[in-house]
Chain A
């Protein structure tokens, strides 16, 4: 079985940055040998998963408005398969955190994250979610949401351009394409504890 390559249409592999991170993932995947049947099924499922990402928008401020432009005709996110945005965490694959997370919002964000079913991903959009951004020194702003929940992709900017959104979301697609579904992400959800 050859190396799995996270292909994105019309964008060359070398044009992406952070490829070393994905190569690490590939190495890990191949470390224990691969099962041909399972890997083929994995690839098929991952192809489907990565092209139909349903996002859950946690939009608190400016970045959410820039995300709205993605939905409009000019930038048209339907091309990538993530035009289905959900406002309920229970129907989503990825949580997009758009805008500053304050101390008052943090427990709610954690609760919403916990409500998403596995496999789930988080994209931190904008300077505020990554590090606190311009409000880093404030008494009421969380300095980076990765202190509370794990983050898969960071999209910097204040707010990021629509192109930056796409680059970040394509990186997420590439990551999903390299995951083992069977015995991997489909088993991430801990079994409910019986009482």
Chain B
């Protein structure tokens, strides 16, 4: 049955918009009913909630729910809104998808929308004493001065529920009891890979609960985007997940090109694909180095960085940047390939294939590594989908979620590659997925590197691009999961709302359920094996 009919059967007055993505507009009071029906649909269950995007439409506040099925990979967007700006309320879907708990917290933090039934309605990124909701259109950017006092974190969360007479009642859920022994890890800690803070309740050495506190590197990129023109917004994507700089920018370029109807040349597609895969190798090598370093091994760190420098040299020759390349542009790429590019890449692949055994000899078979990784931090497939932990973490749990396979973009439908899927779901599987992906990325590059067609590397575009009204989205498989771009345009030269799907936020959210019952020392190894990058979470 068509998805439109399905929704119309439940809510007869649902409207459909097809400018860009297919959006079903449902009233707030029947949102939960529709979501539940789609989630547990017999033929095609929409069990993967990609993102909840909070929105401010001026008159109304609301949210967009991006759903996907893990079997047919069909996608649908639900839109709902409320006209109450003083005290906006929407029904929570956190009982259907666990990832909604943290995504709704984000929408609450930015828009002040209270989700009825969400057990955790605290701020996510901003200080708890922050005044106002910054992503609202009427927010005064200068209204919160720099506050140098220390922040006090509440030990309780708020849960709102609706009384039968329509009034709101608030229940307090306990995060940490006074008798809990809470250890504060971060934000200044070498193994949190950035400024992440984990409040960890311990029972002896065993982890009882992990409460991640985000926002120490929240830079407000999404709000800044609303005052930048489309070409200007590109520069900020590189700084989200700096180890997937190329891929993130690829996603935004793709989204804008799709919306503005710009066709890019085949040469540019080839270049983008090769660069994406090189970036993936670069990121996974750094993952290897950091994982081992966090577990106390220092020599493998040098191994990873030795080969990583070769990739960075290739990047630098063509793009001019080592870590952050600023290479993709709307309509293609910034500059043509360096004459030595193909030679260098082939040399690198030959070298890498010849040397990867050293990585495995020093670490993979090591008895300390296997005892600390195997069987530790198990994430089941159901939880992986419910928490929406995409990328290597999801694939280690047996969830086939590779965007390159299921929604091919650039050259990925023309090359042959395997999707690496493990079923154990433990730290070791997460590690092995990434090590195998290095090989698979090299396999992809090898198929493309000799066949790069001649032609333009960039289509000329106007300096100011206007995008027709509508909602557009694009997603890529970045080094650590599905990176999505969600754009709403009102026909202006700058986006009305530009939201990024963070690859790391679901991972950090899943830490709590993965780490419970494990030892504190394993928390570090689990965190490293999940491979999150904090600036991407906080945006």
Which A residues between 28 and 68 are near B, CB-CB below 8 angstroms?
57-62, 64-66, 68
The reply on A123 being an interface residue by CB < 8 A is no
- Given that A72-B306, A105-B187, A161-B322 are contacting pairs, would A110 and B148 also be in contact in the complex, using a CB cutoff of 8 Å? yes
Min C-beta distance of B500 to chain A, whole Å: 15
Specify which of A66, A87, A111, A134 is in contact with B239 (CB 8 Å cutoff): A134
Which A residues between 106 and 138 are near B, CB-CB below 8 angstroms?
106-108, 110-112, 134-135, 137-138
Q: What are the interface flags for B207-229 relative to A under an 8 Å C-beta threshold, 1 for contact and 0 otherwise?
A: 00000000111111101100100
B218–A140 touching, CB < 8 Å: yes
CB-defined contacts of B187 to chain A, threshold 8 Å:
105, 108
Which A residues between 54 and 86 are near B, CB-CB below 8 angstroms?
57-62, 64-66, 68-69, 71-74
CB-defined contacts of A161 to chain B, threshold 8 Å:
322
Bound-complex Cα distance A137 to B312 (A): 30
Which B residues between 116 and 137 are near A, CB-CB below 8 angstroms?
125-127, 134
B190–A87 touching, CB < 8 Å: yes
Min C-beta distance of A101 to chain B, whole Å: 9
Specify which of B144, B190, B243 is in contact with A139 (CB 8 Å cutoff): B144
Q: What are the interface flags for B273-311 relative to A under an 8 Å C-beta threshold, 1 for contact and 0 otherwise?
A: 000000000000010010000000000011001100100
Min C-beta distance of A23 to chain B, whole Å: 34
Min C-beta distance of A186 to chain B, whole Å: 27
The reply on A171 being an interface residue by CB < 8 A is no
Specify which of B189, B218, B220 is in contact with A87 (CB 8 Å cutoff): B189
- Given that A65-B243, A66-B322, A104-B126 are contacting pairs, would A135 and B224 also be in contact in the complex, using a CB cutoff of 8 Å? yes
Min C-beta distance of A50 to chain B, whole Å: 25
CB-defined contacts of A141 to chain B, threshold 8 Å:
219-220
CB-defined contacts of A58 to chain B, threshold 8 Å:
188
Number of chain B interface residues as a range? 35 or more
A103–B217 touching, CB < 8 Å: no
Min C-beta distance of A187 to chain B, whole Å: 27
**Chain B facing A: main interface SS:** loop
A61–B323 touching, CB < 8 Å: no
Which A residues between 159 and 192 are near B, CB-CB below 8 angstroms?
159, 161
- Given that A69-B309, A161-B322 are contacting pairs, would A62 and B144 also be in contact in the complex, using a CB cutoff of 8 Å? no
CB-defined contacts of B150 to chain A, threshold 8 Å:
107, 111
B216–A104 touching, CB < 8 Å: yes
Bound-complex Cα distance A139 to B322 (A): 29
Specify which of A69, A71, A104, A139 is in contact with B215 (CB 8 Å cutoff): A104
B323–A138 touching, CB < 8 Å: no
The reply on B242 being an interface residue by CB < 8 A is yes
CB-defined contacts of B239 to chain A, threshold 8 Å:
61-62, 134
Min C-beta distance of B3 to chain A, whole Å: 39
- Please report B residues at the A interface, Cβ cutoff 8 Å: 125-127, 134, 139, 141-142, 144, 146-151, 187-190, 194-195, 215-221, 223-224, 227, 235-236, 239, 242-243, 286, 289, 301-302, 305-306, 309, 312, 322-324, 534-535
- Please report A residues at the B interface, Cβ cutoff 8 Å: 57-62, 64-66, 68-69, 71-74, 87, 99-100, 102-108, 110-112, 134-135, 137-142, 148, 158-159, 161
5 pairs of residues in contact across A and B, judged by CB atoms under 8 Å: A69-B312, A134-B239, A139-B223, A142-B146, A161-B322
* 7 extra interface residue pairs, beta carbon distance < 8 Å, beyond A72-B309, A103-B147, A138-B219: A61-B217, A61-B534, A68-B286, A87-B188, A104-B125, A139-B141, A140-B218
